[in-house]
Structure 1
Amino acid sequence: MKLAFIVAAWLVGVIIGLETQTALLPLLLLMVGSVSLGLALRLRQLPVFPTVLAIILLLGVWRADSNADQLQPLTSESLTGQSGASVTLEGRISNDPETSDSRVKFSLDLSSAQLESGQILLDNRVLVFAEPPDGLVTRRSPPYFDYGDRVVISGPMRAPEPFGGFDYPAYLASQGISGVMLTESAAVIGEDAGWREWPYSLRGRLSESINDALPYPQSALGQALLLGLRSGLPPEMVDDFRSTGTSHLLAISGLHVGVLVAMFLAASAWLFGRRGFYFLAVPLIMVWAYALVSGLPPSVVRAAVMGSVYLVAVGIGRPGSIIPALALSAGLMTVVSPEIIQRVSFQLSFAAVAGIALTQPFVPQWSPPGINDKQTWWQAWAFHLLRWPFVALIISRSAMLATWPLLAFNFKEVALSGIVVTVLALPAMPFIMAGTLAAAMVGLVSTVAGQFLGWMVWVPTTYLIELVQASPDWTLETDWAGMWLVAIWYAGLGVLLLFLRPGRIGRLWASIKSGSKTMASHPFEPAKTIPIGLGAVVMIAAAVVLWWQVGSSSDGDLHVHFFDVGQGDSALIVTPDGRQMLVDAGASPDGAIQALSATLPNGDRSLDLVVMTHLDADHSRGLLNVLDQYQVGAVLVGKDDPDAAMRAQWQAAIDRNNTDVISLQQGFQLDLGSGVMAEVLNPRLGVGSGSSANNDAVVLRLAYDSISFLLTADVESETESYLSTGPSEIQSTVLKAAHHGSKSSSTANFLAAVDPDAVLISVGEGNSFGHPNVDVLGRLVSQTGVDRLYRTDQDGDVEFVTDGRELWVNTER
């Protein structure tokens, strides 16, 4: 117990030092006085331990004070004296870069700044949102920048600002970040990844393997839970987790590590028995493997250290010493970085691991039933089926009981449904994390085998997604929650744990087990047939999946989906015999991916054709991820535009995926099967684009018996005028209005020539361009009527279905 008191004194001193500014001289005087008092007590043969605690406390105060310099914001004004001035900085990327819309986000540890007065040395960290240069795009895969890159960036520096009640500056300061830069000038001048290059490289390869093994959005959730990569999560999924108070499940922390420790410890003890240290190897390896593949972020390393400390305590036969051991690990961490004790992530990690560890003695250590002729077959199976959910329930409840006061105090709200949802969700977490890791590792060797395991993981992952989506948004405001709540709650838990001694619980379980000896093993020893039974379950599940895939094939109609991808275009054509052609993919990197995953059969990661109408970002940027994550038969393109901003990224995506590219021009006919034909009406060979490059965009007319669709991309009045009088038939049942309803398109003569029964405008809600134009809307309404004018900003995804004679329309909203 003395160790616990020593660590407690240190932590109290650290907290005092962080919350106050104590001069060095008073600290020295107090320390000298404490040493003198200790010597006096020793001479009188009195206990000196209280004096030792006082000295440890003062050392904690001194250590915190020595590290308590406030992080000063780094801005253009602080560097140059001019607000908004451009500065040139050099540094090293210190985290795993992530794609953020059209830019790449990373932390940069600065080494110097180049100013007019010369070069100055810096020791700051800034958050950078950078446009990758074309030269980097052509030789690397997304996100183009890597951990350890030495980078030179230029642009204005600004201080982070709070938003929506969230103290963003404090959040960044807790990570050592003192400024933010959005830059269009970023150059890699060297690489210095060090020993962490291999973990980050493995993380990237596993991320790609997860994309191949699991359908979206299950793959995005698996990446978040296993690798800590959250950039691919659909915004609506993030909102669902946040509104139900379960967003902590998406952030790798002590909760995840604690669940892994508990579940693998129980599984290892069941498989190998509690002999020696052997049964501890499995959970120890899994914890550090998890930390490794997650990129070794500080929060996971801290939790892994605490989990390892607990496993050591179990191994030496003293699991009751877990709190002193965990406290020691926390104390050692604060020696290195005193400020981490103030970070909510550290507090939550410590509380979750401690809560799970403290309840382990109360988890019944059942053994498989013995041999007894009186045991029925269902009793043996019930034992194994009910044990694990019961253990998972205990683990999840202990983690929630240990962390909810911190959530209430720090975030001032508690989602009432969050506790229930977390309890229901946590039993699936180990299977999601371990299964995703297995699928990803196997997928590195064989994509097909990885996909097979991915289907096994699909079940718990989908369960978690559906659980969160179905949960009500009930939130309790906890502005009243103060430090008193935290103190009272944890003091009460401490008293309860002292009362409920593990020996008492053990005797209770012993009596329960003695009363259930009649549940002995059947002569056929069904417990030993469990591996065979599990194999049968896996094979049956695989057969069901294959049957479902066959049953979810095309229904014999032509489907044309117009996806709501914001301010951009994206359409999916599915022919009566199931062929799939994607036309553009919007500006968002994941917008089309989300739409495709929701539309195509689960597990379908292939597209027969992809059409890139032109290289404007609002049509082509989303195709970069489509090419990376889907098997594409061929890409159809119009005229090349060497000056397009997306040109380098587009060509790099084509090259790294070895995708076949076919150039289109007016007059091409595409036979899509089942009587569906697509005719290329634009671009025209040997004809310039006129006043705008939009006039070179690919225009397609899709026809199926008597129903037709005209997809006009972003062409403007010049091309519309030609199409109206050209040799090709343009009359169509459905018109996709050109250029998002811009005033430069949808002229009266063109609408008269097309004579559509329905019009679709692909446009982003509240866009800055004022699309669709009021006059254009008037012309379209006059043509089709209000009821036959569809807009993705108002109707969401819009699906047209036809058998070639009749037309049906389904809207998302």
Structure 2
Amino acid sequence: MWDLAAGILACILVAAATESTPEAAARAANPAAPASAVVGQALAPWSEGYLDIHHINTGRGNAAFFIFPDGTSMIFDAGALEDDWGRNVAPLVLGLALPNPSRRPGEWIADYIDQFKRPGMAGIDYALISHFHADHYGRVQFTSPASAHGNWKLAGITDVAERWPLGTLIDRDYPAYDFPVAQRGTKDKSLSNYFRFADGLATSGRSKVERFAVGRDDQIVLKYDPERYPTFSVRNIAANGAVWTGSGSASRNVLDVGQIADGKGKFNENPLSLMIRLDYGDFDYVTGGDTTGVHTPDQPEWFDMESKIAPVVGEVDALSLNHHGNRDATNADWLRALQPRIIVQQTWTSDHPGGDVVARITSKTLWPGQRDIFATHIQEPTKIAIGPWLTRNYRSMDGHVVIRVQPGGGAYDVYILDDRSTDRKVKAHFGPYQSRQ
């Protein structure tokens, strides 16, 4: 009997040792992955050589914090909405203020960064604002306090900068802010506040402020030890209707002012969003704000930016869904070209995601590969409206989503952190995954 049991156990061990999935290969290749997957405990700190991508959930807008392999830091958006905004869009339901409403969303983003910063970090090296919608940079209210550093109020990115000095602020149109129309005279109090902030940083010398340069891979770079990580880069893919050609740093324009702006100066901001791709060894990740992609009879051809961008992005291991997974983005061309293994959806209202987007990101017809889908928060009305196609296909629907790429970029893990607590302990671990070669 013991011999039989031993034989069965040996067969099991042999089968496990010869498992051929990409995840098994990653486990075999990286047996010394950091002990950061213990559910109920804190995520292990970032360490040299790792790439951390934190999708932060405040329930009130997009925010992602990056630590590059040499310790260079970056934030991509820092949105902030409040309850009064939610009343304006009823019956849509705005997300809960997380982890609690005792602080403004931007303050919670700053607090999150304080917990997961690299040792000795005194500021954020790069801050990117994908486009000028308040869920990506911060909505000012009557009650918003004044900055101690200049003539602007605190909401979203300005709250973050109050705690964390910014090395370089990058947006789609500094300093002119005139594409596709002049905006410096805007009546939008939140946007004019952001312009005062950007101008104030530049004139005070506290930070550099730059216009995003489409096509370049030398605007956002490793600042501390670039020679040690030659396979890491950040490529500026698209913004303002311009797209990298895929060769050198050249770009081409795919829309013009006459297309996007009407005669009254109104236009759709989302197609102008800036997009970046991170590469680290074999690992690739792309994020693009609210980039649009649907080309339907009710939309003009130029609205479909994703189909024009997809060929130069190519296959990636991971991405953040454009426009929160809203119905006007994440089209079939985009998914066929990128074929992501990991999909992250940054959400904050009950129309995220659109049901047709769920159909596309789960379709094995568009691409046959495996995919794991993670959302920062899916609301109950959304689950009811879309049904099992949503709930059966998402691996996680609540929590901060962290992608931790192992040294060299050959493998990576996904961690879900508790967004209801300031301790932000690990709720779940997925992986390791093998990066696509």
Q: TM-score with structure 2 length normalisation?
A: 0.55
The equivalent residue for 2:85 is none
Is 1:750 aligned with 2:334?
yes
Closer, same or farther: CA 774–565 of 1 in aligned 2, 3 Å: same
How many corresponding residue pairs? Answer: 258
- Residue 710 of structure 1 is aligned with which of 274, 286, 304? 286
SS of residue paired to 2:49? coil
Closer, same or farther: CA 649–754 of 1 in aligned 2, 3 Å: same
Provide, for residues 582-625 of structure 1, a one-character-per-residue CA deviation record: whole Å limited to 9, x for no partner. 10112133231122122215774411111111111000011011
- CA contact under 8 A between 1:762 and 1:791: conserved in structure 2? yes
Q: How does 1:36-435 map to 2 (within 5 A)?
A: none
Cα distance in 2, alignment partners of residues 749 and 552 from structure 1: 38
- Residue 680 of structure 1 is aligned with which of 236, 252, 274? 236
For residue 359 of structure 2, what is the amino acid of its counterpart? Answer: G
Cα distance in 2, alignment partners of residues 568 and 751 from structure 1: 24
Structure of greater relative contact order (alpha carbons < 8 Å, 6+ residues apart): 2
- Residue 719 of structure 1 is aligned with which of 305, 308, 324? 305
The equivalent residue for 1:112 is none
- CA contact under 8 A between 1:627 and 1:654: conserved in structure 2? no
**Structure (1 or 2) with the larger CA radius of gyration:** 1
Closer, same or farther: CA 603–677 of 1 in aligned 2, 3 Å: closer
The equivalent residue for 1:671 is 221
How far residue 790 of structure 1 moved from its aligned partner, in angstroms, is 0.5
Cα distance in 1, alignment partners of residues 189 and 256 from structure 2: 19
Unaligned runs of at least 5 residues, structure 2: 1-43, 81-104, 139-155, 243-252, 261-266, 294-303, 378-396, 418-426, 428-437
How far residue 707 of structure 1 moved from its aligned partner, in angstroms, is 0.5
- Residue 172 of structure 2 is aligned with which of 638, 644, 650? 638
Provide, for residues 373-398 of structure 1, a one-character-per-residue CA deviation record: whole Å limited to 9, x for no partner. xxxxxxxxxxxxxxxxxxxxxxxxxx
Alignment RMSD, CA only?
Answer: 2.4
Is 1:697 aligned with 2:283?
no
Cα distance in 2, alignment partners of residues 585 and 699 from structure 1: 15
Provide, for residues 218-257 of structure 1, a one-character-per-residue CA deviation record: whole Å limited to 9, x for no partner. xxxxxxxxxxxxxxxxxxxxxxxxxxxxxxxxxxxxxxxx
Provide, for residues 746-785 of structure 1, a one-character-per-residue CA deviation record: whole Å limited to 9, x for no partner. 0111111111111000002xx25x1111110121122688
For residue 361 of structure 2, what is the amino acid of its counterpart? Answer: L
- Residue 569 of structure 1 is aligned with which of 49, 62, 66? 62
- CA contact under 8 A between 1:568 and 1:740: conserved in structure 2? no
Return the structure number with greater helix share: 1
How far residue 806 of structure 1 moved from its aligned partner, in angstroms, is 0.8
The equivalent residue for 1:426 is none
Closer, same or farther: CA 570–553 of 1 in aligned 2, 3 Å: closer
Closer, same or farther: CA 586–785 of 1 in aligned 2, 3 Å: farther
The equivalent residue for 1:586 is 79
- CA contact under 8 A between 2:67 and 2:118: conserved in structure 1? no
Cα distance in 2, alignment partners of residues 665 and 656 from structure 1: 21
- Residue 733 of structure 1 is aligned with which of 317, 322, 338? 317
Cα distance in 1, alignment partners of residues 332 and 340 from structure 2: 12
The equivalent residue for 2:191 is 647
Is 1:598 aligned with 2:115?
yes
For residue 287 of structure 2, what is the amino acid of its counterpart? Answer: L
Cα distance in 2, alignment partners of residues 688 and 592 from structure 1: 35
Cα distance in 2, alignment partners of residues 701 and 645 from structure 1: 32
The equivalent residue for 1:228 is none
The equivalent residue for 2:40 is none
For residue 801 of structure 1, what is the amino acid of its counterpart? Answer: R
- CA contact under 8 A between 1:714 and 1:738: conserved in structure 2? yes
The equivalent residue for 2:131 is 614
Cα distance in 2, alignment partners of residues 773 and 760 from structure 1: 14
How far residue 665 of structure 1 moved from its aligned partner, in angstroms, is 3.1
SS of residue paired to 2:237? strand
How far residue 552 of structure 1 moved from its aligned partner, in angstroms, is 6.6
Return the structure number with greater strand share: 2
How far residue 652 of structure 1 moved from its aligned partner, in angstroms, is 2.1
The equivalent residue for 1:120 is none
How far residue 741 of structure 1 moved from its aligned partner, in angstroms, is 0.6
For residue 413 of structure 2, what is the amino acid of its counterpart? Answer: W
For residue 584 of structure 1, what is the amino acid of its counterpart? Answer: D
The equivalent residue for 1:788 is 372
How far residue 663 of structure 1 moved from its aligned partner, in angstroms, is 0.6
Closer, same or farther: CA 625–785 of 1 in aligned 2, 3 Å: farther
SS of residue paired to 2:362? helix
Is 1:807 aligned with 2:408?
no
Closer, same or farther: CA 553–800 of 1 in aligned 2, 3 Å: closer
- CA contact under 8 A between 1:628 and 1:653: conserved in structure 2? no
Provide, for residues 142-179 of structure 1, a one-character-per-residue CA deviation record: whole Å limited to 9, x for no partner. xxxxxxxxxxxxxxxxxxxxxxxxxxxxxxxxxxxxxx
How far residue 681 of structure 1 moved from its aligned partner, in angstroms, is 1.1
Is 1:628 aligned with 2:162?
yes
Is 1:559 aligned with 2:52?
yes
How far residue 801 of structure 1 moved from its aligned partner, in angstroms, is 1.2
Q: TM-score with structure 1 length normalisation?
A: 0.30
Is 1:771 aligned with 2:362?
no
- CA contact under 8 A between 1:758 and 1:788: conserved in structure 2? yes
The equivalent residue for 1:661 is 209
Cα distance in 2, alignment partners of residues 570 and 738 from structure 1: 13
For residue 795 of structure 1, what is the amino acid of its counterpart? Answer: D
Cα distance in 1, alignment partners of residues 58 and 79 from structure 2: 6
How far residue 651 of structure 1 moved from its aligned partner, in angstroms, is 2.1
Closer, same or farther: CA 601–671 of 1 in aligned 2, 3 Å: closer
For residue 557 of structure 1, what is the amino acid of its counterpart? Answer: Y
Cα distance in 2, alignment partners of residues 740 and 786 from structure 1: 21
Cα distance in 2, alignment partners of residues 552 and 680 from structure 1: 28
Cα distance in 2, alignment partners of residues 654 and 663 from structure 1: 11
The equivalent residue for 1:526 is none
How far residue 648 of structure 1 moved from its aligned partner, in angstroms, is 1.4
SS of residue paired to 1:662? strand
For residue 399 of structure 2, what is the amino acid of its counterpart? Answer: G
Cα distance in 2, alignment partners of residues 553 and 773 from structure 1: 34
For residue 400 of structure 2, what is the amino acid of its counterpart? Answer: D
Cα distance in 1, alignment partners of residues 191 and 78 from structure 2: 16
Cα distance in 2, alignment partners of residues 552 and 565 from structure 1: 21
- Residue 762 of structure 1 is aligned with which of 346, 356, 367? 346
For residue 573 of structure 1, what is the amino acid of its counterpart? Answer: F
- CA contact under 8 A between 2:315 and 2:337: conserved in structure 1? yes
SS of residue paired to 1:671? coil
Cα distance in 2, alignment partners of residues 619 and 785 from structure 1: 31
Closer, same or farther: CA 676–602 of 1 in aligned 2, 3 Å: closer
The equivalent residue for 1:65 is none
Closer, same or farther: CA 552–583 of 1 in aligned 2, 3 Å: same
Cα distance in 2, alignment partners of residues 569 and 710 from structure 1: 15
How far residue 645 of structure 1 moved from its aligned partner, in angstroms, is 4.9
